[in-house]
């Protein structure tokens, strides 16, 4: 059976269906062709190397206009797809499925529109006509009606509606086996640098621009967390792919110097102002995953790190936008120990970190 799966969105979105991919691949005769995006292609490629996907197709490289779409459909038709599963609903994804798959299954968001009326993203009668089955995700009333249903459970519900002899292997997200060796190597490296102390990762990316905190205020958070760490933990700071003004203020405040005589491509600098803090700059996804897998705690503004931490069952403090708790509850971490807090609750960060250390 050939499956075409649309997940041309984010890394976390892709991770949330990895247990489904694992279940499909439990039958060695099944093939999975994943349509991904430039945002999650690195993680998708690790899943391919781990034999959870047979082919990775970057949607963003192929579909840039209507002419590209026609060529892309022709390319997908060659795969002889039996079942298309649309986890990212869009008009183009529907068209690709209609012209390439025998059976189509999709999520179907129910959204609030004008005059307080609720409408499906695709009209219900068309959904019944186009899809063999679908899973409704109620986004109305600020997700209040569906806040108790995790997104991964919506995706699983859709999978269960697809006729097959497959059973879900686990509710846990599988760990990409392609990264096992790199994680082990990173563990040896971090132990040698930080004297086998446990590690807390504090990730500060561009999403912190929405926190209404200044770079100096976030620097004060770092000092607070480092005081809790004391002699038991080492605090590693990482930034996003694009360094922001907040990142620059933080790196300047830390007063950094290179750690010499280490055999690694990681750009590791230690703070001269706070003795148990270092900064690792410009990590790629694989490097970041290998660091997270060796941490005792991850602190981050809700992002792919939320879900990567869940893959490796690393405790996480997941910081979310003020007033959006219903939405983020649907995307909460799935690790054993976690907490979601809003930016406005960061004044209690010392109490929260203490619960995890």
Please list the rounded mean pLDDT of every run of 10 residues in the chain (357 residues): 97 97 95 97 98 97 89 96 97 96 96 68 92 95 92 96 85 95 94 88 95 95 91 92 92 92 83 93 93 97 97 98 95 97 94 93
User: DSSP secondary-structure letter at 357?
Assistant: -
Distance between CA atoms of 279 and 237, rounded to whole angstroms? 5
C-alpha dist (Å) from residue 201 to 50, 265, 280:
26, 19, 10
Nearest to 146 by CA among 126, 116, 118: 118
Q: For position 170, what pLDDT does the model report?
A: 77
For residue 202, the number of C-alpha atoms closer than 13 Å in the C-beta half-sphere is 24
Nearest to 131 by CA among 153, 111, 101, 160: 101
Cβ(325)–Cβ(319) below 8 Å: no
Cβ(3)–Cβ(57) below 8 Å: no
* Two structure tokens written together for 325: 């708790």
Give the angle subtended at the CA of 328 by the CAs of 17 and 127, to the nearest 5°.
Answer: 55
H-helix segments, the chain? 11-15, 18-24, 41-49, 59-62, 66-77, 91-98, 124-130, 140-143, 151-160, 180-194, 215-229, 245-254, 285-292, 304-311, 325-329, 349-354
C-alpha dist (Å) from residue 51 to 31, 71, 218:
10, 27, 41
Distance between CA atoms of 207 and 221, rounded to whole angstroms? 16
How do the domains of the chain map onto residue ranges? 2-160, 177-354
Element (H, E) at 101: strand 101-112
Assign a CATH topology to domain 177-354. Answer: Rossmann fold (3.40.50)
* Fold match flag (2-160 vs 177-354): yes
Cβ(233)–Cβ(296) below 8 Å: yes
Which architecture characterizes domain 2-160 according to CATH? 3-Layer(aba) Sandwich (3.40)
Query: Which residues, listed in sequence order, are joined to residue 4 by a DSSP beta bridge?
Result: 33, 84
Distance between CA atoms of 93 and 59, rounded to whole angstroms? 10
Cβ(274)–Cβ(282) below 8 Å: no
Q: For position 115, what pLDDT does the model report?
A: 57
Q: For position 39, what pLDDT does the model report?
A: 96
The label of the residue with tokens 């790196």 reads 251
Distance between CA atoms of 43 and 174, rounded to whole angstroms? 12
* Two structure tokens written together for 336: 């054993």
Within 10 A of 338 (CB to CB), how many other CB atoms are there? 19
Distance between CA atoms of 266 and 281, rounded to whole angstroms? 7
**Would you say how long the chain is, in residues?**
357
Distance between CA atoms of 52 and 29, rounded to whole angstroms? 12
Q: For position 357, what pLDDT does the model report?
A: 87
C-alpha dist (Å) from residue 180 to 185, 231, 259:
9, 29, 26
Distance between CA atoms of 6 and 37, rounded to whole angstroms? 9
Nearest to 235 by CA among 259, 258, 260, 203: 203
For residue 186, the number of C-alpha atoms closer than 13 Å in the C-beta half-sphere is 21
């Amino acid at each position: 059976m050939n499956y075409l799966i649309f997940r041309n969105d984010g890394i976390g979105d892709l991770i949330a269906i990895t247990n489904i991919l694992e279940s499909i691949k439990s039958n060695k005769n099944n093939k999975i062709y994943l349509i991904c995006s430039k945002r999650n292609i690195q993680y998708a490629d690790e899943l391919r190397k781990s034999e959870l996907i047979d082919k990775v197709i970057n949607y963003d490289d192929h579909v840039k206009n209507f002419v590209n779409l026609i060529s892309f459909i022709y390319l997908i038709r060659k795969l002889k797809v039996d079942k298309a599963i649309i986890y990212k609903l869009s008009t183009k994804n529907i068209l690709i499925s209609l012209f390439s798959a025998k059976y189509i299954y999709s999520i179907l968001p129910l959204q609030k529109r004008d005059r307080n009326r609720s409408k499906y993203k695709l009209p219900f009668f068309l959904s019944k006509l186009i899809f063999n089955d679908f899973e409704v995700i109620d986004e109305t009333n600020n997700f209040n009606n569906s806040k108790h249903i995790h997104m991964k459970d919506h995706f699983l519900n859709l999978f269960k509606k697809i006729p097959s002899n497959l059973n879900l292997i686990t509710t846990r997200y599988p760990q990409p086996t392609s990264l096992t060796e790199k994680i082990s190597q990173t563990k040896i490296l971090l132990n040698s640098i930080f004297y086998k102390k446990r590690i807390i990762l504090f990730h500060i990316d561009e999403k912190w621009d929405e926190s209404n905190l200044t770079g100096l205020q976030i620097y004060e958070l770092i000092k607070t967390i480092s005081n809790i760490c004391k002699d038991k933990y080492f605090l590693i700071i990482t930034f996003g792919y694009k360094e922001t003004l907040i990142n620059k203020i933080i790196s300047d405040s830390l007063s950094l110097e290179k750690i010499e005589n280490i055999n690694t491509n990681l750009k590791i600098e230690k703070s001269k102002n706070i003795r148990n803090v270092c900064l690792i700059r410009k990590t790629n996804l694989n490097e970041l995953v290998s660091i997270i897998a060796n941490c005792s705690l991850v602190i981050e503004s809700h992002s792919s790190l939320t879900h990567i931490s869940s893959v490796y069952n690393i405790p996480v403090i997941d910081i979310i936008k003020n007033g959006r708790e219903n939405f983020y509850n649907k995307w909460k971490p799935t690790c054993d120990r976690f907490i979601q807090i809003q930016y406005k609750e960061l004044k209690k960060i010392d109490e929260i970190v203490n619960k995890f250390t």
